[in-house]
Amino acid sequence: MKESILDKYALNQLTNEDKVWLKNALAKDPSLQQELDLYTDIVNGMAHYMDQKNTNELKAKIADVGTHLEQDGFFETPLNQALIQQIQLEGEKELQQIIRSVDKNLEQDGFFRHQDHSKNTSTSFFKRLKPLIAAASILLILSLGWQLFAPATFDTEEQYTLAFKPYENTLSNSIELELSEHGFGGNPKTVPLNQLLEAMAVYDKGNYAKASQLLSDVLKDGVDANFLPATKFYLALSYMGDNAHDKALPILQKISAQEFTQQETATWYLALVYLKEGNLKASEQTLERLNSSKQYRQKATQLLSTFPK
């Protein structure tokens, strides 16, 4: 009954029957009010400092953990000792700083205001609270310090999203310059160039599905050899923008091995396609090809540093 009252009191869910029971219990043992207040502080403090959206769920977890810790003799088992040793081995100093910082913030906000550490404090009172405080402490420490000793997870989708940026259109200016030399009209060579210019205008608008279709048509109809690698390059980028990485891959594999203006850029995007596809080994090898690149060396090194070792 008492444990149920603690939960309902902290959650402000006491029934009339509960209130009567609590009134009688407080008359018999006034120190119970301290226990009620401290329990409420713990669950509310945990909800605040762990920034949980569902506070009721968190409070239930704390109560549940406390019960299981008490039943299972958590502090007397080798599991607890192993946990402490792991914390000490993998991040003791930093974790202790976090705990001290949290303790300081909790103290400043009155988190411990109901705890009486004087000589008159009842030993049995804190003995009753030990499982609850232990549960709250463990949840708080693990939530803040787990990253110090837990294996880092690598999310290829997240890393790809962070690294991928649409490449600017540097082709249209060259096309317009070429067209000006041909007089923009009356010359058969200007037809594919105008088509290419139209495709790049669509690319600029971010309509990558249509851009890939138009660029494919340009390649089928034939384009000036001077613009061939760049046209393929932007076709691959359009495929990437349209989430068709399987189509972009073979194009980038070929043109990244050719010498043209965007060769290093093509290599960078090839590495990103491998990353997107989950082929970390190929992505790593491709990024290492950019070690001597002034433009992409830093970005490649930074991305490589996130890869699992």
172 and 244 in a common domain: yes
Region 177-201: mean pLDDT is 79
217 and 250 in a common domain: yes
| DSSP symbol at 74 | G
247 and 111 in a common domain: no
CATH of the domain at 248: 1.25.40.10
Region 7-30: mean pLDDT is 81
Region 40-53: mean pLDDT is 59
- Total residue count of the chain as it appears in this document: 309
CA–CA separation, 194 vs 198, rounded Å? Answer: 6
The domain boundary, picked from 148, 173, 205, lies at 148
H/E element, 69: helix 55-72
233 and 97 in a common domain: no
Residue 211, pLDDT above cutoff 90: yes
**Domains identified in the chain, total number:** 2
Characterize 236-256 residue by residue with b for buried, 16 or more Cβ atoms within 10 angstroms of its Cβ, and e for exposed: bbbbbbbeebebbbebbbebb
Question: Phi, psi at residue 285, to the nearest 5°?
Answer: -65, -40
The reply to whether 153 falls in a domain is: no
pLDDT digits (tens, 9 = 90+) for 113-133: 544 444 444 444 445 555 555
pLDDT band at residue 45 using 50, 70 and 90 as cut-offs: low
Question: Phi, psi at residue 142, to the nearest 5°?
Answer: -65, -35
- pLDDT, mean over the chain: 76
Domain that holds residue 132: 2-148
Quick one: CA torsion of 254, 258, 263, 268, rounded to 10 degrees? 30
138 and 181 in a common domain: no
The reply to whether 309 falls in a domain is: no
DSSP E strands in 18-176: the ranges are none
| Model pLDDT, residue 300 | 96
185 and 123 in a common domain: no
Strongest mean pLDDT among 26-40, 107-121, 138-152? 26-40
144 and 76 in a common domain: yes
Residue 15, pLDDT above cutoff 60: yes
Contact between 58 and 52 under an 8 Å Cβ cutoff? The reply is: yes
| Model pLDDT, residue 126 | 47
